[in-house]
Amino acid sequence: MFDIPVGEFFEFIINWLTDNWGGFFDLITVTVKTFLVGIENILLFPHPIVMIIILAGLAWYISGKGVGIFTVIGLFVVEGMNMWEGTMETMALIFTAVLIALLIGIPVGIWASKSKTVENIVRPILDFMQTMPAFVYLIPAVLFFGLGQVPGIIATLIFAMPPAVRLTNLGIRQVPEEIREAALAFGSDSKQMLLKVELPVALPTILAGVNQTIMLALSMVVIAALIGAGGLGQPVVTGLQQLDIGLGFEGGLAIVILAVFLDRVTQSLGTATQ
């Protein structure tokens, strides 16, 4: 039989990009790091009790009394476990990764909904991104961006982006033809059709994609900690390395509390738009 050096070819591409595009990756590193630090400072500046009141009030307003009460109790537990700083660092990392993923993913999803050719090109790329083991993303991320939070964000956004593209594409394609015909009858051009008809009708499906993007980003927290991203993944990794069951469990419990808060709030946003 014959050998197909796929791994060697991939390594050659990575090394070529590292040697010739180093300045570009440094620029991305500085930009993302600056934005991330700004978000972290905003989240960590208020006293934890003030932040708990703000987040619980937000959860109560968007998702109702039950989620608001859960947020109060859950975040007080997080603070009591001395996981507050890690929780805010994780929120900042997820917010940054999800924001970049949506800024790229939603326009690509809109483009795919308008062109069968684009959809045929994008679909296998998304399949590749979703089925590739998440640990593999860490290798080029570390080579391009070094260790720390930035490669963690890059690996996270690549892993979490596919639902934003898929559900934006699906939501626009599922807009009833009668609604499009009515908009055309009133003289809508393509821009008005997209902004005033298709996107508003598809908004619940797009927000479901946002919810899935956030959940996938949160699932990368522990993996990203392996390359120094910090946050709530760090105590889990430390607990695993030192067989410290208590520390690992506290880190895992804080991740669960944060996941439930983000999931319920974003789900309620999607429900409210229906």
Its sign, for the CA torsion 273, 270, 231, 14, is negative
What pTM does this model have?
A: 0.85
Give 227 or 80, the one with higher predicted confidence.
80
What value does the mean pLDDT take over residues 65-73?
91
pLDDT of 274 reads: 62
Q: Which residue has the tokens 């890059």?
A: 154
CA distances from 264 to 50, 107, 230, 238, 251 (A): 21, 25, 25, 29, 20
pLDDT of 99 reads: 92
pLDDT of 104 reads: 93
Q: Is the pLDDT of residue 191 over 70?
A: yes
SS3 category, 58: helix
pLDDT of 132 reads: 81
pLDDT of 168 reads: 92
Say which range, 90-99, 101-110, 146-155, 202-211, has the weakest mean pLDDT: 146-155
Spatial distance between the Cα atoms of 21 and 16, rounded to a whole number of angstroms: 8
What value does the mean pLDDT take over residues 17-37?
85
| 133, 17 contact by CB (below 8 A) | no
Spatial distance between the Cα atoms of 38 and 32, rounded to a whole number of angstroms: 10
- Give the tens place of pLDDT for each residue, 78-132: 999 889 998 999 999 999 999 999 999 999 999 998 888 998 998 999 888 888 8
Which amino acid appears at position 42 of this protein? I
Q: Which residues lie below 8 Å from residue 165, measured CB to CB, with a gap of 6+? A: 105, 106, 108, 109, 112, 122, 126, 209
pLDDT of 56 reads: 92
Q: What is the mean pLDDT of the chain?
A: 87
Residue 107's nearest CA partner among 15, 188, 195 is 195
pLDDT of 272 reads: 64
